[in-house]
Amino acid sequence: MGRIVELEAYIGQDDQASHARFGQTARNQVMYGPPGIAYVYLVYGMYDCLNVVTEPAGSPAAVLIRAVDPLEGMDRMRADRLAVEGRRRAARTDAGAALAGDRLARLPDQRLASGPGLVAAAFGLDRTWTGVDLCDPVSPLRLERLAADEVPDVDVRTTARIGVGYAGPDWAARPWRLAVAGHPAVSGPRSAR
DNA sequence: ACAACGATCAACT
DNA sequence: GTTGATCGTTGTC
């Protein structure tokens, strides 16, 4: 359990950074469905990324969850990350597995889900989670809204989205990445936090 | 059928 | 600042 501290918006077929830029396909079809549903995809052949579908059915859009500030269950997050990362070739040797385990044990809690691939790894998510209703209060993976008096008084900074240069200068420059200013769980270089 | 390319991360210089 | 790992999705032939 934790709080989302960084995300990116991908809105509509026109958005040349979005998976919907080629229209509806087998992979992105959940983006065309109702909002509040999980969309988990694989990037770079290695990392799963969690998105929340937004906008009404027929209007493809999603929000990529880029970083979470862990509040509870950090032991399980470490275990889930170890399970996910242990599958990779570099960690398949005894020495590699030991190294990965050491590194994880020393990792501060606030770095456990500090990046889109790490969010999915820390919560044990892969593509099979696509379609889960994140607004259902009994769902094993769900969003919860903070009560008004629990919302922390923080600055939210907007920047360009990360890793979308292929979209062209216009779409790549849109300030659709939102992050809690200065929060240690936010991903990327210190200058972008 | 095939080649190119990522909504990334960690290790290294 | 640079680079390798790794494979599903997509567009093209």
The rounded distance, in Å, linking the Cα atoms of A27 and A113 is 24
Nucleotide C8 C1' to residue A28 CA (A): 13
Q: Provide the 3-class DSSP secondary structure of residue A157.
A: strand
Q: What is the structure's pLDDT at A88?
A: 82
A124: amino acid identity, one letter: G
DSSP character for A160?
P
For the record, the structure tokens of A39 come out as: 């969309």
For residue A189, what pLDDT is reported?
A: 63
| The nucleotide closest to A107 (CA, C1' atoms) | B10
Contact A12, A59 (CB under 8 A): yes
Per-residue confidence in pLDDT tens, chain A, 193 aa: 999 999 999 999 999 999 999 999 999 999 999 999 999 999 999 999 999 999 999 999 999 999 999 999 999 999 999 999 988 877 778 887 888 888 999 999 999 999 999 999 999 999 999 999 999 999 999 999 999 999 999 999 999 999 999 999 999 999 999 999 999 999 976 455 5
Segments of A58-106 assigned E as strands: 61-70
CB-based contact A119:A68 (threshold 8 Å) = yes
**A112 burial type by CB count under 10 A (0-12 exposed, 13-18 middle, 19+ buried):** buried
pTM across the whole model: 0.96
Which three-class secondary structure state does DSSP give residue A65?
strand
Separation between the CA of A150 and the C1’ of C6 (whole angstroms): 42
Chain B bases closer than 7 angstroms to a protein Cβ: 5-11
Listed by range, residues with Cβ under 7 angstroms from strand B are A 8, 10, 17-20, 31, 42-47, 49, 51, 62, 64, 99-100, 103, 115-118, 161-164, 166, 187
